Amino acid sequence: MEQTLAIIKPDGTAARLVGEVIRRIEDEGLAIAAMRMELLSERKAEGFYYVHRQKPFFRSLIGFMTSGPVVLMVLEGENAISRWRTLMGATDPRKAAPGTIRRDLATDIERNVVHGSDGPDSAVYEIHYFFKGDDICSGT
C-alpha cells in the first residue's frame, strides 16, 4: 500500500468543499489513514513550501496557505500518489481534465483547492511533516 499527503487548501475549506473532496477520494477507492483540520502558522507553511522559497510566488503562496484552515490527510491505497494526482487534475484548472477536482472546483492556478505529493520521496517527507507515526491508521 502506498501513501500520499493530500491537503484541502483554504479556498476549499472556505467554499465548504471538504465533503465533496472527501467523497471523490472515497469514490476513487482511496482510504483516509489520517485527517485533521489546522490553521497553518506562517512558520509551518514556510517550512512546508521551503523548496519554493526563491520563487516569485513564494510570499503569495504563504499568505494564501495561512489565510484559513486546511484539511490535512494521509491517503492510502495501491498507486495512491498517481491516483490522487489524477483525481486532482493539472495545477492550472484551465488545463485540468474534465471531472477532476481542480477543473470542477478551483478558481485559478494558486487557488486550486487541493495539494498532493508529487512522488514517493516527497510523500514520505510531506506526511511526516504534518503527522507522527501513531497519528496514521494504516490499513483502514
Tell me, what CATH number does 116's domain have?
A: 3.30.70.141
**pLDDT tens-digit profile, the chain (140 residues):** 999 999 999 999 999 999 999 999 999 999 999 999 999 999 999 999 999 999 999 999 999 999 999 999 999 999 999 999 999 999 999 999 999 999 999 999 989 999 999 999 999 999 999 999 899 998 75
Residues labelled catalytic? 115
Task: Report yes or no on 82 lying in a domain.
Answer: yes
The candidate with the shortest Cα–Cα distance to 7, out of 32, 43, 42, is: 32
State the total domains in the chain. Answer: 1
Closest CA to 60 of 49, 72, 74: 49
Under 8 Å between Cβ of 35 and 71:
yes
Stated pTM of the model:
0.95
The whole domain housing 16 covers: 2-39+69-132
